Homo-oligomer: A and B are copies of this chain.
Amino acid sequence: MNQIIQCVPNFSEGRDLEKIESIISAFRGKNGVKLLDYSNDEDHNRLVVTVVGEKEALKVAVLEAVGTAVKLIDLTKHEGQHPRMGAVDVIPFIPIKNVTMDECVELSKEVAKLLYETYDLPCFLYEKSASTSARENLAALRKGQFEGMSDKIKDEAWKPDFGTKIHPTAGIVAVGARMPLVAFNVNLATNDLEIANKIAKNVRHLSGGLRYCKAIGIDLEERGIVQVSMNMTDFTKTPLYRAFELVKIEAKRFGVSVVGSEIIGLVPMDALIGTAEYYLGVEAFSYDQVLEKRIME
């Protein structure tokens, strides 16, 4: 693959393994598309698929998977812990290699248009593809969920970007382009959740911290410690080391030390290379010096 776009569609089916396999089969054995991972959660009743591919091949596969999901998933009968507004809840496209964010935005708009034309499925454009800043945030779009969505979109502010009414069984989907997310947690040598929450507040963008960092405190009861659980929403602008060092600095105020960290799920190589580059103080390093980058070219 010369060009690599990642796509992480979320489907509202986490229990019926036959339906899950049907949906996933759209991503198997296709040229220009590679299924990297999928995980279904029964409590959430949700399926998260991670796939990479070239633009056209990915578009065709996503369209097929959504078609299957619209056929198999009936949201009027869906229940689960995770908020959702559609049979396919969200479809993010993420630039990985030889592709710009603008191209991913364009792809997301093409896909949204096709989903509406093919399956009569209404779409919101979100994140970098959003038409207004109010629509960038998925949680804001999804508020009210499937059950409240028909009423919500009567408000001009929440009119879908494609379509005019909610699909009776498949609801509505958010489609957009975004940077890769890195789920990065820093563990603290204390069991005081209040401290983790205060540190989270200090490092996250929302309350005065780092621009591309979301954070909350989490209690790791079994280990008897707490952690600052972060979503790094653009590691190219807010790198991992900066968040890590800032957590250490904020933890000092409480006399608490950092015992380690966790990276959950997939992480782009560049996020780790950038970290190594910082700590070793490597001068004039080009990412082209990484052997595997050259092999992948």
Residues of A within 8 A of B (CB): 1, 4, 6, 34, 36-37, 52, 96, 180, 187, 240-241, 244, 258-263, 265-269, 271-273, 275-277, 279-285, 289-296
Is B265 in contact with A269, judged by CB distance below 8 angstroms? no
A158–B96 Cα distance when bound, in Å, is: 52
Q: Which of the residues B4, B271, B282 comes within 8 Å of A295, measured between beta carbons? A: B4
Is B280 in contact with A266, judged by CB distance below 8 angstroms? no
A267–B279 Cα distance when bound, in Å, is: 16
Residues of chain B contacted by A294 (CB below 8 angstroms): 36-37, 266
Residues of chain B contacted by A279 (CB below 8 angstroms): 241, 244, 275-276, 279
Q: Which residue of B lies closest to A258 (CB)?
A: B281
Is A281 in contact with B259, judged by CB distance below 8 angstroms? yes
A285–B182 Cα distance when bound, in Å, is: 13
Copies of this chain, whole number? 2
Other than the given A6-B291, A266-B291, A272-B272, 7 more pairs (CB < 8 A) read A34-B295, A36-B295, A260-B281, A261-B280, A266-B290, A267-B289, A275-B280
Is B241 in contact with A291, judged by CB distance below 8 angstroms? no
Is A269 in contact with B269, judged by CB distance below 8 angstroms? yes
Is B296 in contact with A292, judged by CB distance below 8 angstroms? yes
Q: Which residue of B lies closest to A259 (CB)?
A: B281
A296–B34 Cα distance when bound, in Å, is: 10
Is A291 in contact with B261, judged by CB distance below 8 angstroms? no
Q: Assess A268 versus B292: contact at CB under 8 Å? Given A276-B275, A276-B276.
A: yes
Q: How far is the CB of A261 from chain B (nearest CB, A)?
A: 5
23 A–B contact pairs at CB < 8 A?
A4-B295, A34-B295, A36-B291, A37-B294, A52-B291, A240-B280, A241-B279, A241-B280, A260-B282, A261-B281, A262-B284, A263-B282, A267-B290, A269-B293, A272-B273, A273-B276, A275-B275, A275-B276, A275-B279, A276-B279, A279-B279, A292-B292, A292-B296
Residues of chain B contacted by A4 (CB below 8 angstroms): 295
Residues of chain B contacted by A52 (CB below 8 angstroms): 291, 295
Q: Which residue of B lies closest to A270 (CB)?
A: B292
Which among A241, A275, A281, A282 has the greatest number of chain B C-beta atoms within 10 A? Answer: A282
